[in-house]
Amino acid sequence: MYIWAVFVRFLSIALLCGSVYAAEVAAAPAADNASAQPLPAKESTPDIPLPKQSAYTGRGFTVGIGAGAFDPSEECDCMGVWQGQMDYFYTPWLSGGLEVRFFGGDMDSENSLLYSRYRIFGKFHLAFQSLSFYLSPMVGLESTDISEIREDLKGRDDDEDGVEDVDSLTEKSNCEKMFSLDGFTVGIEGGAGWAFSKYVGAFVAVQYEYSFSKAQLLTVTPGLGLNLRSIWDWAQKNTNALWVTLEGGGQRYFNRDVTEWANYVILGFVLGV
């Protein structure tokens, strides 16, 4: 009887251990499956394209670069344009950063040009899940040596011919006016972006700049963006924004006897982290 009692006790312990082990084995595949699941995407935030290779995310940095073609006027040859920006969100409604733009190429049959403009800006945002508005005060500074180039050419013409070609000088002057705000400027920009579908968004901006030499510049920038985060899993998990943008538009100078609109088109890339 004692042996039977020990056997029953041993059997009971074995059955209990077996049931525990079976439960652990049954739970193991579920745990493996859970560990094999993809990592969750980044916390959902607004992701809306904005002009000049930018985007509204409400947090972190956005960095953008772009390149394209610039057609100043009928008197100037078409040339290249490059631009970039970096924007940091201090709060969901306030950001600030720096943008640069370079123009380069043959200004006309005789002269080449490298012209750069730098702007420091702040942006005040009003944003919803798929729609964003902003107002951006800015200060700017330009850098170009086109005036010195023209003076050298003018002196050479005087030495060789003794008489200046008035039409030629007028043409150069008009080209120069398309690339100069005469140094320090202040300005304001208003714009909006709309992610109207999962894959595509649109944006527009109007910018006004004023220099202390009384030159004024008005720029209008509409465009479209393709949202790469919507089609790339890695981007959804590791970025706040990832857009390819195409923007075009025009700019015009006032108070400088320039009556033409200069046109441009830029293909760009935006990354938000």
- Tens digit of pLDDT for each residue in 215-256? 888 999 999 999 999 999 999 999 999 999 999 999 888 876
**Does residue 76 or residue 94 have the better pLDDT?**
94
Q: Which of 95-104, 129-138, 205-214, 236-245 has the lowest mean pLDDT?
A: 205-214
Task: Give strand pairing partners of 126.
Answer: 133
Pairing outcome for strands 200-211 and 185-194: antiparallel
Cα separation, 247 vs 223, whole angstroms = 4
Count other Cβ atoms within 10 Å, centred on residue 259: 10
Q: How many C-beta atoms lie closer than 10 Å to residue 254's C-beta?
A: 14
Q: Give the up-direction half-sphere exposure of residue 127: CA atoms within 13 A in the CB hemisphere.
A: 26
Between CA 267 and CA 273, with CA 270 as vertex, the angle to 5 degrees is 170
Q: Output the pTM of the full model.
A: 0.73
The architecture (CATH level 2) of 48-272 comes to Beta Barrel (2.40)
Confidence grade of residue 171 (pLDDT, cut at 50, 70, 90): very low
Tens of pLDDT, residue by residue over 144-168, are 554 444 444 444 455 444 433 434 4
